[in-house]
Chain A
Amino acid sequence: MAEFFTTAIIVSTVASTFRFATSYLYAAIGETFGQRSGVLNLGVDGIMLLGAFGAYYTVLKSGNLWLALAVAAAIGMLMGLAMAYASVTLQAEQGISGIGFYLFGLGLSDLLFQKLVGTPLPIDGFPNLRIPLLADIPIVGEMLFDHSIIVYGAFLLVPVAAFVLNRTTVGLNIRAVGENPEAADTLGVSVAKVRYFTVILGSTLAGIGGAALATELGIFQQNLTAGQGFIAVALVYFGAWRPLGVMFGALLYGFVAAVVLQLKTLGVIPLGASDLAAMLPALITILALVVAVQRERQPAALTKPYERGE
């Protein structure tokens, strides 16, 4: 057990946590916007997969990482538009249409990969960007300030999202539409417009989350996300629809996963228990909520389509 507490290992575990959490943090923050306005998007995983493939393919063909991010974002946007059309305009049952988008993305990304690429070729992701001065702080510097720009981006997104949701008119409208669409409508806020905006924004971020995954791993493969999009959705509930809470959830899940893997490596967790240990990130996430007993209530209009009364 003492072996676990060497500096190198602690630093690596924490650094892994941030890296691991990056992709689903983007998606979870995006999903937060959608849910705050009353739309549940269960299709995040599929959108992440399409974004991941788009980014991977772009890097493979052009070598341009920024273009890759733009492509992933555009794919996310497009999927968001479709999702918004289904759930806002056509008022489709959100939990179910999301599953459709998930399966669609899962299949299509794999199909495109097989047809356009064929065999997994590696790509180079964003290089690590050591933040001057901060990265030189012993221990903490290496944990927090020696990552690629896409990792920083995810964590910088959190305060930005919190600011937008809590301190701006846009945020006020989003929350109003999610809590009481009738009232918002009466006040002249277009429920449909706000929801289109949040769903498209959320899916764009999911696409970028996928790009983060593909570029950080430097590869694409069938079902690359392995369910990260679903974890992202769960984390929105964990964080009680607040970006900071969502980030805390993402870090908790990622930290438990990284610690479990480190303990397996060190032999603290015996081989025979490796599957049981793999349950821990999921179990601890639930337990944390049970212990915390949160009082937050979900946005009142979540999953409820809005139709203007005539």
Chain B
Amino acid sequence: MRRWAGAVFPVAAVVAALLVGGVTLALLGADPLEGFRAMIEGAFGSGRALADTTSKAVPLLLVGVGITIAFRANVINIGGEGQIILGALFATIFALAVPDLPAGLMIPALLIAGFVGGAIWGAIPGALKAYFNVNEILSTIMLNIVAVQLMNYLLRGPLIDPAEIEAGTRIPQTMRLAPSGDLPVLLEGTRLNLGAVIAVLFAIAAYVFLWRTTAGFRIRAVGLNPHASRYAGIKVKRSIVAALTLSGALCGLAGVILVFGSESHRFVTDGSSTGFTGNAGFNGIVAALFGGLHPIGTIPASFLFGALLVGANKLQRVVQVPAALVVALNGLVVVFVVSSAIWKRRLEQRYLLEDSAKELVDQPAEVDDG
């Protein structure tokens, strides 16, 4: 019960943000109740709604788990957008180069390719920070810009669907990628695919890594206290690079799933990163925080955050307000949730105090027994 009491605050924060959204809806002349009903229906109302919510949650979960790892090493990874793109590019190039692989080999190979692509795009800021003192916020912002242009260049150039050139329409997208790379659909008639299972497995793996392995311990130690870690003989720089690399790798996986779990099974660009990622590189950070910066907690957090995004889109369609409202609401939810964390922390501190007080009371008895 106590463990879950803290979850009240983010939920209350979301509700508060939605109330503000409701007032805005009323101001725009729309019926807020109709809007909220649409939201709930759009996120949870049917099998397809649930599948859409889950599909939206998958990249958030992978990015969120990656963020958690980086966060534990005390680095903020805001390069998720670029890392997602690189992961998608690596996997896409692989699928175009080796289209004849059977599904049993293709899917693991794609995941590895995406993992590597994202890892590289995470390792660069890691190495720049560790060895050249280039702050990771600067390098990831810049590398996001670079990744977008690289994507645009490749998709309108070397990787473009030859049919687009033939027809003269030149839509910047690949051909339909090899069907053996399609992530199998889990629920007939929906988009729910193997990506969801993969994401959850990686979340569990990240938990095991952080809390059950020496490398994970090092990352957490560096995050908690780099100076003490250095004295303890931990190679701090190497741990920072490792954390950003892994963080990027998980974002890269999100990129693979966004392409190979998509409706079109193509990689297509509208010229921006958001068009492809749907801001997952940023929203995943929020999901991670929502989940208490814990890989397992990020699972339900991503699902709820995905529901919020999917539901808000449905709201836009039903009450016909500009889609910009959805973006503003998304931001408001983030601000409210992150700001509410203080009460959660205070609650936990009180529990802690209470526990130690209890121990103090219990201890003399133990001494007596001895």
Binding site for B on A (CB under 8 A): 40, 42, 46, 82, 85-86, 90-93, 95-97, 99-108, 110-111, 114-115, 222, 227, 230-231, 233-235, 237-238, 272-273, 275-276, 278-279, 281-283, 285-286, 289-290, 293-296, 298, 303
Contacts and interface: CB of A to CB of B under 8 A. Distances in A.
Contact of B137 (A86, A97, A102, A234): A234
A283 B138 CA distance: 11
Interface string B292-332: 00000000000000000000000000000010111111111
B335 interface: yes
11 contacts: A92-B339, A100-B331, A106-B327, A106-B328, A107-B330, A107-B331, A233-B141, A275-B150, A279-B149, A282-B145, A295-B133
A107 B142 contact: no
A3 to B, nearest CB: 25
A99 B285 contact: yes
Contacts, number: 153
Contact of B324 (A40, A95, A99, A107): A107
Given A107-B328, A227-B145, A289-B134, 11 more contacts: A92-B339, A95-B76, A100-B335, A100-B337, A111-B322, A115-B28, A222-B324, A234-B141, A235-B138, A275-B152, A293-B133
Given A100-B286, A289-B132, A231 B328 contact: no
A92 B139 contact: no
A82 B152 CA distance: 37
Nearest to A89: B342
A82 B327 CA distance: 18
Interface of B: 28, 76, 78, 128, 132-135, 137-139, 141-146, 149-150, 152-153, 156-157, 279, 282, 285-286, 289, 322, 324-342
A108 B325 CA distance: 7
Contacts of B332: 100, 104
Contacts of B338: 86, 92-93, 96-97, 100
Contacts of B153: 273, 275-276
Nearest to B156: A275
Given A278-B149, A282-B145, A283-B142, A101 B132 contact: no
A97 B334 contact: yes
Contacts of B145: 227, 279, 281-282
Contact of B331 (A95, A101, A114, A278): A101
Contact of B142 (A92, A99, A100, A285): A285
Contacts of B28: 115
A285 B128 CA distance: 13
B137 A237 contact: yes
A290 B134 contact: yes
Given A99-B286, A100-B286, A105-B331, A110 B324 contact: yes
Contact of A104 (B285, B322, B331, B340): B331
A42 B135 CA distance: 14
Contacts of B327: 103, 106-107, 110
Given A104-B328, A286-B138, A86 B128 contact: no
Given A100-B331, A101-B335, A104-B335, A90 B134 contact: no
A289 B325 CA distance: 39
Contacts of A90: 339-342
